Amino acid sequence: MPKNIIPDSETRATAEHAKDLRLWLRMLACTNLIENHVRARLRSDFDITLPRFDLMSQLERSPQGLKMGELSKRMMVTGGNVTGITDQLVREGLVVREDSPKDRRAYIVKLTAEGRKSFRRMAEAHEGWMVALFSGMEERQRDELYDLLASLKTSAAKVAAKH
Amino acid sequence: MPKNIIPDSETRATAEHAKDLRLWLRMLACTNLIENHVRARLRSDFDITLPRFDLMSQLERSPQGLKMGELSKRMMVTGGNVTGITDQLVREGLVVREDSPKDRRAYIVKLTAEGRKSFRRMAEAHEGWMVALFSGMEERQRDELYDLLASLKTSAAKVAAKH
DNA sequence: GAAAATATTTCGAGCCTTAAAATATCAAAA
DNA sequence: TTTTGATATTTTAAGGCTCGAAATATTTTC
């Protein structure tokens, strides 16, 4: 085996770097593929946007309702943003703002009965899309992916937190 | 082992469905974490947006330049969109529109010397961010993730193509 | 040539996003 | 109790990305 096919340390480092980049680009491509599919189907089948769906999904997980600020934190968007999205859902009758009995500055946002019903239908469809999208992978692979993503999340969160 | 801890087929199906959903939500969380980090740093360090960076990155891979329509296809966005992003990059002197000698309807978009220089600096930083973000994973894990994502991409693309 | 297809741009509209200013209220210290 | 500083939310202003449809210009095809 000739010596010159063994990469020097700089070449090796660059190759490793490029690998991380490729990994990210592939991951981004996958996510965009799925996310765009979901957006398109939410719009065509239910005439709703992903942010609105996400907000409703947060509320479904918290039947006691959430304050605007809590929604903002969980959805990782600014408060003004939540105001806008909530306004629309209120207009459509899917969500209500109730005055907080504890704090008169705050609202508590809840799903209406119609909102709950509507969300359930959407969530069911959404879950079905996911099953279809992942169906080409074996269960073992999906489990493995799930675990690796946990590791990635930890790793990335540590770095992202700094800046 | 009591019989009743063996889930019936419906319960099992539902559990499997929920797993796919959780997998997706975790993947989305990871991607958003990283993507937001990248957007923020591109803005704070280089005063550029991700779509603009992406367009430049396409051009760097194609030194002979690309037509607007090719950019549109590769970036998976509409033509009108590419027009807007290109306009801004032209204004900043990072990119030029040249008339195509073959087809007078078409432009060929290329990086300027300054655009190339600027992109190289950004790409280097970008790669560094990736190395950092993935550094908490072992190399074996990153390789495994890379392979699993290939499988996912195939699976999802097949489904997404239908609609 | 006329008709159909292609490459882009323009226009209108919607949404998300942020940052900063304005309100209102709460909570704690003086 | 009054003041002061923090908190919860909305409003406002501006910027960007995005799409889809209509408008232009040009090429290709029949």
Question: What is the SS3 assignment for A16-79?
Answer: HHHHHHHHHHHHHHHHHHHHHHHHHHHHHHHCCCHHHHHHHHHHHHCCCCEEHHHHHHHHCCCH
CA-wise closest residue to B115 among B77, B157, B59, B42: B59
Containing A161, the helix (H) or strand (E) segment is helix A139-162
> What tens digit of pLDDT does each residue of B29-77 get?
899 889 989 998 999 899 999 999 999 999 999 999 999 999 999 999 9
Q: What is the mean pLDDT of residues A98-124?
A: 90
Residue B127, chain A, CB below 8 Å: the answer is yes
Classify residue B69 by its DSSP letter.
H
Is-contact A7 A18, C-beta < 8 A? no
Comparison of pLDDT for B59 and A45, the residue scoring more: B59
- Cα B27 from Cα A148, distance rounded (Å): 10
Sign of CA dihedral A18, A20, A25, A30: positive
Which residues sit close to strand D, CB under 7 Å? Answer: A 67-70, 72, 79-80, 82-84, 86-87, 97, 100, 103, 105-107; B 49-52, 76-81, 84-85, 88, 103-105
Q: Closest partner residue to A142 among B23, B133, B150, by Cβ?
A: B23
Q: Say which CATH topology domain B48-162 has.
A: Arc Repressor Mutant, subunit A (1.10.10)
The predicted pLDDT at position A128 comes to: 92
Residue A137, chain B, CB below 8 Å: the answer is yes
**What length is written for chain B?**
163
> What tens digit of pLDDT does each residue of B33-43 get?
899 899 989 99
Q: Hey, are the CB atoms on A141 and B148 less than 8 Å from each other?
A: yes
| pLDDT above 70 as % of chain A | 91
Containing A108, the helix (H) or strand (E) segment is strand A107-111
List, in sequence order, the alpha helices (H) in chain B: 9-46, 50-61, 68-75, 79-91, 113-134, 139-162
Query: Smallest CA–CA separation between A154 and chain B, in Å?
Result: 7
Asked whether the predicted pLDDT for residue B78 surpasses 90, the reply is: yes
Any residues with CB less than 8 A from the CB of B146 and at least 6 apart, and which? A19, A22, A23, A26
Asked whether the predicted pLDDT for residue A3 surpasses 60, the reply is: no
